A and B are shown apart, each in its own frame.
Chain A
Amino acid sequence: MSTKFMQISGFAAAIVAIQIFTQITDSSFHLTQLTMTAYYSLLVIGLCMLIGYAGQISLGHAGFFAIGGYISAFLTTHNLTSIKGKPLIALLSKFGLLVEGKDLYGGGLLAFQPWVACIIAVCTVLIVAYIIGGPVLKLKGHYLAMATLGFGIIVYRIVLGTAGLGAADGISGVPGFTILPGVTIGGSGSGKIMNYYVAWGILIVGITLLLNLISSRVGRALSAIHGAEDAAEAMGIPTANYKLKVFVLSAGFAAVAGVFLTHYNGSIGPSEASVMKSVRYVAIVAIGGMTSLWGAVFMSLILNYFSLRGSFGTYDDAVFGVILILIMLFAPDGLIRTQVLGDLKSFFKRSDSKEATL
C-alpha cells in the first residue's frame, strides 16, 4: 500500500475520531467551527500548492474566495419574479435552472438553483484567475506580492461599495445547497454531523487530487520551477504555462471553498474579501512549512478552529501577525517540517559565523 493511501486513510480516521469524540463528550457544537475550518482548509491547500510548490506568492486569494461566495449568494437570493415574463428568464425556468420559493416576508422568490449558481461562480473565478494570472505571474518578488494584494483590495472595495451586494452587510438568507438527494450543505441544525462529513469529505477529495498532482510529472516540473525558474525553462519546462495553471487551480479551490462556505453559513460579508484574510491564509501556509500539504492542513485545522471559536479574543489578527513574524524569523521552512533541534543549532552557528566575519 502506498504511503499516500496510508496518509489519507489516517487523516480520514482522525476526522471520524474527532466526530465520535464530540459525540461522546456531548460537545457537538464544536462541529460547526470544524466544518467551517474544513472549507477554509480547502482554500489553504490550493494556496499551498501555489506558494509552496510553484513558488508564487498570492496576497489576493481571499478575493477569489469572495468572488465565488458572492456570485453564488447573489444568484441564489436575487429575486427574478419582477422580470419573470422576459424570454430569457422563461427559458432558464423551462430548463429547470431556476427555483421558486418564499422570501423572508412570504412573497414569491424566483432565483437560480444553487448548483447552477455554483457552476457559474466557479467558472467565473477560473476565468478571472486565467485573465489576471497571465500578466500577474510575469511579475516577481515585491511586484507579484503587490499586484495580488492590489487585486484583493479591488475585490474588497467593490463588494464593500456595491449596494446590490449588500455593501457592508453582505448577503444573507442564502439557501442550503442540496448536492445529492438528502445531502444539503446548509446551516440548519439537524444536518450538523452530515455537514461535517461532507465538508471534510470534500477536503479529502481536494487533498487526494493535489497529492496525485504533486507526485506526477506536473509536480516535478513545479518543484523544478520553484528551485530555479531559469534552469527549469532551459530544461524545456513551459514555466509560464505551469505557473498559470497552478494559479488557476488554486483560485478554483478558493472559489469552491467560498461557494460551499457561503451556503453553509447562509450568508457572506465583505470581511471575507479583506486583505487580512488573504494574509492569514499565507500565514497558515507559511507555518505549515510552505511545501507541505499536510502541514498546511494541520495548521489550518488548529489555527482556523481556534480563531473561529474566538479563543484569541480581540488579539485575533495580532496572533496571526506574531506567528507570521516568528516563523519567518526563526523557522522560514515552517514549523512542521523542520527538526527543531537542528534548526536551533544552525541558527546559533549562523550567528557565530556572522560575528566571525565582522
Chain B
Amino acid sequence: MELLLQYIVAGITYGTIYAIVAIGFNIIYNTTGIINFAQGEFVMLGGMTAFTLKEYMPLPVAIICAVVITMIIGALIEIVFIRWLHKPSVLRMIIITIGLSILIRETALHIWGEGVTALPYFTGTSVTSVNLGGVFISPQVFWAVGISSIVVILLGIFFNFTLLGKQMRACSANREAARLCGISTQNMVTFSFMLSAAIGALGGCIVSPITYISYDSGSQLAIKGFTVAILGGLGNSTAAVAAAMILGILESFSIWALPAAYKDVVSIAIMLIILFVKPSGLFGNAAAARLKEY
C-alpha cells in the first residue's frame, strides 16, 4: 500500500513537469495554431541559465532572472523567425521550429557542455523528506506541485480577467475578427511566445533539483509535454493538467512491469494510441476538434 502511494507521488511529480510543458504548447497553439517543437528547449534554457546565475546571486533572484532571460529569448525567436512569415504552411512551421530546437540545443551544448546540472533543493537537501502517512515525500515535490498550481491559477485569472489575456483569447478564437477590433494579433503572438517561454523556464527551474537538466533534456520533455497536450485535447490547459497526472502515474507504474529504459516507450506508445483512436483527446470534443485546422 505504501509502495503504491510512493509510486503515485513519483507520478505526480513527473506529472507536474509534463503539465507545465503542455501548458506552454497550448498557449502558443491557441494563439497561432502552431505546435512549437522548441518548447522543451525553453525548459532546458530556464534550468541551465538559473544554474549559471545562482553563482552570482541568491537562488530566488537567479530563478527570476532565468525566467526573464528565457522570456526575452522567446520573444526574440518569434520576432526574428516567425513574425514576418506570411501565412506559412504547417509543414514549413514544423520544420522551422524543429530547426530552432536543434539550434538552441547546440548553442546550449557549446555554452554549458555535456554535463548535467542541478539547482540546489529549494528547502532542505536531497535526503530530506517529509513522512506523510508512511510515504516519504521530498519537500521539492511540494514546491513543484505548489508552484505549478499557482501558475495554473494565475493563468486562469490572466486569460479570464485581464485585458491582455482576453485579447489573446480573442486572437485564438478568431484572428481576423480580433484584428478588426483593433487587437494587434502579431503582438499577441509575441506575447504568447514570451508567456510560454517564461512558464517553460520556471518549470525547468523547479524540476532541475529532482531530474537534473542537461543540454539535451529539452526534446524528451517536449515529446512528453506534447503527449499530455494531446491526451487532454490540444489547446485545453485544464485538461492537460489532469492528463499530465495520468501519464505521470502510468509511467511510474510502468517501471513495475518493464525495465526503466523502456519508460519513454510506454508514454510515447500511449501518445500514438491516442492519436490513432481519439485525436481530439480524452476530454476533447471530437466535433469541435474537427473544426480546427491542424
Mark contacts of B78-108 with chain A using CB atoms, 8 A cut-off: 1 yes-contact digit, 0 otherwise: 0001001110111110111011111101110
A149 at the interface (CB under 8 A from B): yes
Name the CB-closest residue of B to A51.
Answer: B91
Cβ A146 vs Cβ B262 within 8 A: no
Q: Which of B99, B105, B226, B261 contacts A146 (CB 8 A)?
A: B226
**Contact across chains for B219 and A322 when beta carbons are under 8 A apart:** no
Instruction: Find out whether the CB atom of A276 lies under 8 angstroms from the CB atom of B95.
Output: no
Answer yes or no: A127 CB below 8 A from chain B CBs: no
- Chain B residues touching A, range: 35 or more
Residues on A with beta carbons closer than 8 Å to the beta carbon of B90: 140-142
Q: Distance in Å from the Cβ of B71 to the closest Cβ of chain A? A: 21
Chain B residues with CB under 8 Å of A275's CB are 219
Which A residues touch B85, using CB under 8 A?
329
Q: Are A151 and B102 neighbours in the complex by a CB distance under 8 Å?
A: no
- Greatest chain B CB density within 10 A among A59, A135, A143 is at A143
Within the complex, which residue of A140, A160, A324, A354 is in contact with B99, where a contact is CB–CB below 8 Å? A324
Are A354 and B94 closer than 8 Å at their CB atoms? Answer: no
Contact with B along A318-333 (1 / 0, CB 8 A): 1011101100110010
Residue pair A149, B294 in contact (C-beta under 8 Å): no
CA distance A343 to B12 in the complex (A): 51
Q: Is the CB of A142 within 8 A of B35?
A: yes
Nearest A residue to B216 by beta-carbon distance?
A: A276
- Complex CA gap A21/B184 in Å reads 60
> Is the Cβ of B35 less than 8 Å from the Cβ of A321?
no
Q: Which residues of B contact A206 (CB under 8 A)?
A: none
Determine how close the nearest CB of chain B comes to the CB of A340; give it in whole angstroms: 19
Contacts of A286 in B (CB 8 A): 95
Bound state CA distance, A135 and B96, in angstroms?
26
Give B185-207 as 1s and 0s: 1 = Cβ < 8 Å from A's Cβ atoms: 00000000000000000000000
Task: Select from chain B the residue with minimum beta-carbon distance to A135.
Answer: B276
Contact A146 B275, beta carbon cutoff 8 Å? yes
Task: Chain B residues near A276: list those with CB within 8 A.
Answer: 102
Interface segment among B58-66, B150-158, B168-176, B266-274: the answer is B266-274
Residues 240-257 of B contacting A (Cβ, < 8 Å)? none
Compute how far the CA of A226 lies from the CA of B279 in the bound complex, rounded to whole angstroms: 23
CB pair A321–B102 under 8 Å, yes or no, is yes
User: Which residues of A sit under 8 angstroms from B276, Cβ to Cβ?
Assistant: 135-136, 138, 147
CB-based contact B98/A153 at 8 Å = no
CB atoms of B94 and A143 under 8 A apart: no
Contacts A146-B35, A160-B261: A329 and B81 contacting too (C-beta < 8 A)?
yes
Asked if A339 lies at the interface with its beta carbon under 8 angstroms from chain B, I say: no
User: Which of A135, A146, A321 meets B106, CB within 8 Å?
Assistant: A321
Known: A153-B223, A325-B100. A143 touches B262 (CB 8 A): no
Tell me whether A350 and B86 are in contact (CB under 8 A): yes
Closest chain-B Cβ to A64's Cβ sits at a distance in Å of 16
Q: Please indicate the chain A residues that have their CB under 8 angstroms from the CB of B99 in the complex.
A: 283, 321-322, 324-325, 328
Give Cα A158–Cα B261 distance, bound, in whole angstroms.
8
Size category of the A interface is: 35 or more
CB proximity of B83 to chain A, nearest CB, Å: 11
Residues of A308-358 whose CB lies within 8 A of B = 314-315, 317-318, 320-322, 324-325, 328-329, 332, 350-351, 354
Give the contacting residue for B102; candidates A139, A153, A279, A329; CB below 8 A. A279
Consensus secondary structure, chain A interface: helix
Does the CB pair B275–A354 fall under 8 Å?
Answer: no
Query: From B25, which residue of chain A is reached at the shortest CB distance?
Result: A142
Smallest CB separation, B14 vs chain A (Å):
16
Is B265 in contact with chain A by the CB < 8 A criterion?
A: yes
Write the nearest CB–CB distance from A77 to chain B, whole angstroms: 22
Instruction: Digitize A271-290: 1 where CB-to-B-CB distance is under 8 Å, 0 elsewhere.
Output: 00001100100110010000
Interface residues in B99-152 (C-beta closer than 8 Å to A): 99-103, 105-107, 109-110
Interface centre among B90, B91, B107, B261 (most CB of A within 10 A): B91
Residue of A at shortest CB range from B35?
Answer: A142
Complex-state Cα separation, A76 to B109, whole angstroms: 37
Contact A328 B96 (CB under 8 A): yes
Among residues 128 to 176 in chain A, which have CB atoms less than 8 Å away from a CB atom of chain B? 135-136, 138-143, 145-147, 149-151, 153-154, 157-158, 160-162
Cβ A317 vs Cβ B106 within 8 A: yes
Is B182 located at the chain interface by the 8 A CB criterion? no
Cβ–Cβ < 8 Å partners of B86 in chain A: 350, 354
CB nearest to B258 among chain A residues: A161
Chain A min CB distance to B142 (Å):
31
Whether B261 lies near A157 (C-beta < 8 A) is yes
**23 A-B pairs in the complex with CB atoms less than 8 angstroms apart:** A57-B91, A59-B98, A136-B276, A142-B35, A142-B94, A147-B272, A147-B275, A149-B223, A150-B223, A150-B268, A153-B223, A154-B264, A154-B272, A317-B106, A320-B102, A321-B101, A325-B81, A325-B96, A325-B99, A328-B96, A329-B81, A332-B89, A354-B86
Chain A residues within CB distance 8 Å of chain B: 57, 59, 135-136, 138-143, 145-147, 149-151, 153-154, 157-158, 160-162, 275-276, 279, 282-283, 286, 314-315, 317-318, 320-322, 324-325, 328-329, 332, 350-351, 354
Query: Lowest 9 CB-CB distances: which A-B pairs, in order?
Result: A161-B261, A321-B102, A324-B99, A318-B106, A325-B99, A141-B294, A135-B276, A141-B90, A142-B35
